[in-house]
Amino acid sequence: MSKLHIKKNDTVYVNAGEDKGKTGKVLKVFVKEQRAIVEGVNFVSKHTKPSAKSPQGGIIKQEAPIHISNLNPVDPKTGAPARIGRRKNAEGKTVRYSKKSGEEIK
């Protein structure tokens, strides 16, 4: 399986769907499903029964996974969405970089 262009803690731009135009931080990546949970994006209503954690129960709003094809990493230099590439740095490690500015994505 190929590597994904999105990693945990990346800042990403949503380029499709209901939340198009929003940016957020990646909280979790599901590699097999090719989906990611992004902070503040793709909220769903979940109905919960009363429990020790939530004694009242009720409806909870939470983030749902979004497909990674709808996400683009944000260029660290310009703050705009950009495609990424991979190259070796001075130490010989493979790093991701923005194809727009050439800046390394950490």
Report the amino acid identity of residue 85.
G
Q: Which helix (H) or strand (E) holds 97?
A: strand 94-98
Count of the separate structural domains present in the chain: 1
Could you tell me if residue 97 is inside a domain?
Answer: no
Please answer whether residues 24 and 43 qualify as being in contact, where contact means their C-beta atoms are separated by less than 8 angstroms: no
How far apart, in whole angstroms, are the C-alpha atoms of residue 25 and residue 85?
20
Tens of each residue's pLDDT in the chain, 106 residues: 678 999 999 999 999 999 999 999 999 999 999 999 999 999 999 999 999 988 999 999 999 999 999 999 999 899 999 999 999 999 999 999 999 899 998 8
Could you tell me if residue 44 is inside a domain?
Answer: yes
Please answer whether residues 67 and 76 qualify as being in contact, where contact means their C-beta atoms are separated by less than 8 angstroms: no
Residues 6+ positions from 29 with CB-CB distance below 8 Å: 4, 6, 7, 8, 35, 36, 37, 68
Find the CATH number of the domain harbouring 20: 2.30.30.30
Could you tell me if residue 15 is inside a domain?
Answer: yes
Could you tell me if residue 83 is inside a domain?
Answer: no
Could you tell me if residue 86 is inside a domain?
Answer: no
Q: Tell me the residue range of the domain where 35 lies.
A: 11-51+58-76
pLDDT at 82: 94
pTM to 2 decimals? 0.85
Could you tell me if residue 30 is inside a domain?
Answer: yes
